[in-house]
Chain A
Amino acid sequence: MGSWCFEKDSNFCNWYGMSAGAGFHIEASPRLTSKWLQLDFWTGGALLLAFFIALPLLSVGFFALQPSGDIWHHLITTVLSRYVLTTIGLMLGVGVGTLVIGTCTAWLVTLCQFPGRRIFEWALLLPLAMPAYVVAYVYTDVFEFAGPVQTLLRDIFGWESSREYWFPEIRSLGGAIFVMTLTLYPYVYLLARVAFVQQSVCILEVSRTLGKTAWQSFISIALPSARPSLIIGVSLVLMEALNDFGTVDFFAVETLTAGIFDVWLNMNNLSGAAQLAVVALCFVLLLLWAERKSRTNQRYFNTSTRYQALPSYQLRGVRLLGATISCLLPIGFGFILPSCVLGYYAWGFYEESISHNFYSNLSNSLVLSSLSATLSVLAGIFLAYGVRLKENTLLKSTARFASIGYAVPGAVLAVGVLIPMGKVDVFIQGFLNNVFGISTGLFFSGTIAAVTYGYLSRFLALSYGTMEASLLRITPNMDGAARTLGLGPGRTLKRIHLPMIRGGILAAAILVFVDTMKELPMTIILRPFNFETLATHVHQLASDELLEESALGSLSIAAAGLLPVIYLSRTIRGARPGAEK
């Protein structure tokens, strides 16, 4: 019985259709008899949760429905085409860049033998801990006309003005692509590596026996079979690139996001901005739809339950050199160089940077990030498991919808959080005041609940995506086995799924943790009074053009992300069934 009768149904493809579909859905009965309300605890709960998380997005959509004056006429006649083209250019550049770097380096460190491989394994993840906007500051300092590189060139060649030579302008689309590729490729690397580590050797060996070279096997076998993971990685990257404001603003690159802020803040037109945000979202949806279309009937369960050690190709000579350089470059440009520059600044401006509340900022960052990571992962598990339990189109599309919050610029989503949260607050306040005569502060928006909610809405894509991909690697028969052995859905989750997807949980938690450490716009808008994190501290200084003073803060953000990132890399190595832990 190689194939189930209904496996070919394309509707089973989950999560934007980018991941493999679960063939079976293990019914979480008992349930109500009504055909319309077939909602048990899991489906209903997950549906509620997904809706709760999607609420900020919905309120952005609500803004978009408001009239926005003649803004579209202006946009269409002037900048819209450029916004769109620039955005496409940015997404293309960053998408291709991260795909190439992420996949190649992942392949090299997973299946080739060369000195330093073990270090590269985790070091390649390091740029993940670097906020893109900080890297943008640093590279502007280094590569601009007045920066050390061009100054040196001028000194050497005796040039006087910029007209006498050509040097790539860092404040440009190319510069933005460069910076974002360097800081975002670890997403692709991470997911590609997980896929390569977990793939069955058999198919690779089959390919070799059919006369393909190692390189051909990589192209024709390993890549396609890692495709769901690569797609998830690249879409995370693209969503990040799309929502980024810090970098494109600093480089004056006019993407849709830059346009959103322009319309919102300079033209004081929030609904126009929300409409642009919806246009930007259409990009993501279009992309995901195209991807789904292109592989309707494929599915990717692991076929083999037995594993051998991965083969490893010993590299020599030119190949060795090439591999080493390929791994060194992204690490060097994405992490080492920026940290050196930052370190140099931090060293020189230590007294100015170490404010008296540095430690409270640090602890605020850590608590917020842990909170955000925990809640996101819990929500991700709940949703992904709810979807696994029962094929429910409404639930699946709500969860999917909730996770595109990742593609919305943080500040816009923050405004989306403010509205429902403010409403609830005002209601609670009024209620307490009327009934008990107590005058309280604003319960949610006055505490870090607001910002935590914001993170949940923003980072669900990371946790839900990872959880769903992890769950998909578990054959539904595991659920069946546990259920026939007398376990309900909850205990099955606890005793079977959670232990089996431990690696995925950890990976999701760490991704969210590191991203929250770096997160800026939502934190700024949604934080309570007198609340500083490392990121807001950095922003505060950087926004007053005090890059050197903010260096220590930036380094701390990177450092706080460092340990989890290294730990993450170790868990991947152990992710191979039967691997030495």
Chain B
Amino acid sequence: MAKLDIENISHAYGTKEVIENLSLTVEEGQVACLLGPSGCGKTTLLRLVAGLTSLQSGRIRLDEKILSEPVSGIETPTEKRNVGFMFQDYALFPHLDVLQNITFGLHDPSPEKLAEIQRAMIQMDIVELTDAYPHTLSGGQQQRVALLRALAPLPRLLLLDEPFTGLDISLRAQVREDTLRLIKQMGVTTLMVTHDPQEAMYMADHILIMRNGKVEQGGSPREIYQFPATEFAARFVGQTNILQGIVLSTGYDEVMTSIGPVPCLSMRDLEFGTDAFISVRPESFEIDPNGPFGAKICTIRYVGQSILLEVEIIDEIGKGHRLKMRVHPNLRVDEGEEIRFRIMPDFVTVIEDPLDD
């Protein structure tokens, strides 16, 4: 397995810049996930790594081996990179059966290798489809064939392009679990792209939030969720409340907002008196009759594992602020009811100034 280094790469189609000076690293055996909305350059990045699109500037390395570096004229052909690629549409070869598809990348597979593949097929529950042709398979089956095909030649790096988007919701969880288990079992370094934060959180050791051709924030799923660096990152991986305030004191870790002082776990070393925006996750709120904050419930959404409330809180100058909060499903409240609560600092973080757009 190998470590992938992407250094300062840029890519444009015509005049449209799709990737701008982007760098990232995927550690050996790690599952990294590029998360971002459609059209942000994620797929292009995968294609650049695979060599399916030639790099315009920057450098891509797999361990010490340079895959692409336009400056020195290096552009290893795709077929010599030893990367596995699973396409969003799976791209199964329609004229080959399942086993032929899976063994496509192997030259004269040994009996042991075939046995190994057979075991993987059993594990992925597609062993009875050996002789079937792709068009007779369901989406989930196709996905698993495509995954095994990409993994069969034991690639040093696995690239997954939206691996689960084509699947029914009901199938997804299972396929996701199977896929992850197989990848981890093989220990292959993996870079996947998705626009689904749930999927990214579930699969990835390391998440990279991409926006407009740049990495907005990278980190473990916990870091990303607990300490989003920007409003975009915060909103992309879940719901949040953005509040503006002034840093009260680095010692107390509180931000004075218009609704009052909010405790904050990550101050990003801002100094006393600085203007700051904070992201307050809906999980930060705790119902407490003695809490410092009071608000009126506007809407109630019961979703099983929790209740999502939208409340209105009136600040000092009488202006209303809407807050989203997630509370325990046991709570029985009605719309219009007044509640009191406090804010826990664990899911509150200072973010960069939100953009105007």
Q: Touch between A and B in complex, CB under 8 Å?
A: yes
Residue count of chain A within 8 Å CB distance of chain B:
37
| Contact residues in A for B91 (Cβ distance below 8 Å) | 475, 477-478, 480-481
Q: Is the CB of B153 within 8 A of A477?
A: no
Asked if A6 meets B16 with Cβ closer than 8 Å, knowing A475-B89, A481-B87, A484-B81, the reply is: yes
Q: How would residues 453 to 480 of chain A score, 1 for a CB under 8 Å from any chain B CB and 0 otherwise?
A: 0000000000000000000000101111
CB distance from B343 to the nearest CB of A (A): 38
Q: Is the CB of B89 within 8 A of A484?
A: no
Asked if A307 meets B135 with Cβ closer than 8 Å, knowing A1-B43, A26-B78, A486-B79, the reply is: yes
A9 at the interface (CB under 8 A from B): yes
Q: How would residues 497 to 521 of chain A score, 1 for a CB under 8 Å from any chain B CB and 0 otherwise?
A: 0011000000000000000000000
Contact of B16 among A3, A5, A24, A495 (CB under 8 A): A5
Q: Is the CB of B93 within 8 A of A478?
A: yes
Q: How would residues 95 to 134 of chain A score, 1 for a CB under 8 Å from any chain B CB and 0 otherwise?
A: 0000000000000000000000000000000000000000
| Contact residues in B for A483 (Cβ distance below 8 Å) | 50-52, 77-79
A305 at the interface (CB under 8 A from B): yes
Q: Is the CB of B44 within 8 A of A5?
A: yes
A352 at the interface (CB under 8 A from B): no
CA distance A477 to B83 in the complex (A): 15
Q: Tell me the chain B residues, 153-198 only, with Cβ under 8 Å from chain A.
A: 153, 155, 159, 161-162, 165, 195
Q: Tell me the chain A residues, 479-495 only, with Cβ under 8 Å from chain B.
A: 479-488, 495
Q: How would residues 38 to 65 of chain B score, 1 for a CB under 8 Å from any chain A CB and 0 otherwise?
A: 1101111001001111100000000000
Contact of A1 among B50, B52, B95, B162 (CB under 8 A): B162
CA distance A479 to B39 in the complex (A): 22
Residue count of chain B within 8 Å CB distance of chain A:
52
Q: Is the interface of B mostly helix, strand, loop or mixed?
A: loop
B94 at the interface (CB under 8 A from A): yes
CB distance from A29 to the nearest CB of B (A): 5
| Contact residues in B for A27 (Cβ distance below 8 Å) | 51-54, 75, 77-78
CA distance A561 to B93 in the complex (A): 33
CB distance from A240 to the nearest CB of B (A): 33
CB distance from A305 to the nearest CB of B (A): 7
A436 at the interface (CB under 8 A from B): no
CA distance A305 to B73 in the complex (A): 38
CA distance A483 to B150 in the complex (A): 11
CB distance from A488 to the nearest CB of B (A): 5
Q: Is the CB of B89 within 8 A of A477?
A: yes
Q: Is the CB of A577 within 8 A of B165?
A: no
Q: Is the interface of A mostly helix, strand, loop or mixed?
A: loop
| Contact residues in B for A29 (Cβ distance below 8 Å) | 51, 54, 75-78
A543 at the interface (CB under 8 A from B): no
Q: Is the CB of B135 within 8 A of A305?
A: yes
B290 at the interface (CB under 8 A from A): no
A2 at the interface (CB under 8 A from B): yes
Contact of A482 among B53, B83, B104 (CB under 8 A): B104
Q: Tell me the chain A residues, 264-294 only, with Cβ under 8 Å from chain B.
A: none
| Contact residues in A for B50 (Cβ distance below 8 Å) | 480, 483-484
Asked if A305 meets B77 with Cβ closer than 8 Å, knowing A5-B16, A480-B47, A485-B104, the reply is: no
Q: Is the CB of A1 within 8 A of B88?
A: yes
Question: Which of A28, A475, A483, A496 lies at the interface centre, i.e. has the most chain B CB atoms within 10 A of its CB?
Answer: A483
CB distance from B251 to the nearest CB of A (A): 47
CB distance from A568 to the nearest CB of B (A): 20
| Contact residues in A for B39 (Cβ distance below 8 Å) | 1, 3, 5
Q: Is the CB of B52 within 8 A of A480?
A: yes
Q: Is the CB of A481 within 8 A of B85?
A: yes
CA distance A2 to B76 in the complex (A): 29
Chain B residues within 8 Å of A, Cβ to Cβ:
13-14, 16, 18, 38-39, 41-44, 47, 50-54, 73, 75-85, 87-89, 91-95, 104-105, 133-136, 146, 149-150, 153, 155, 159, 161-162, 165, 195
* Extra pairs beyond A29-B78, A306-B135, A578-B135 (13, CB < 8 Å): A1-B43, A1-B88, A1-B162, A1-B195, A2-B38, A9-B13, A305-B89, A305-B134, A475-B89, A484-B50, A484-B81, A484-B150, A500-B93
Chain A residues within 8 Å of B, Cβ to Cβ:
1-6, 9, 24, 26-31, 33, 305-307, 475, 477-488, 495-496, 499-500, 577-578
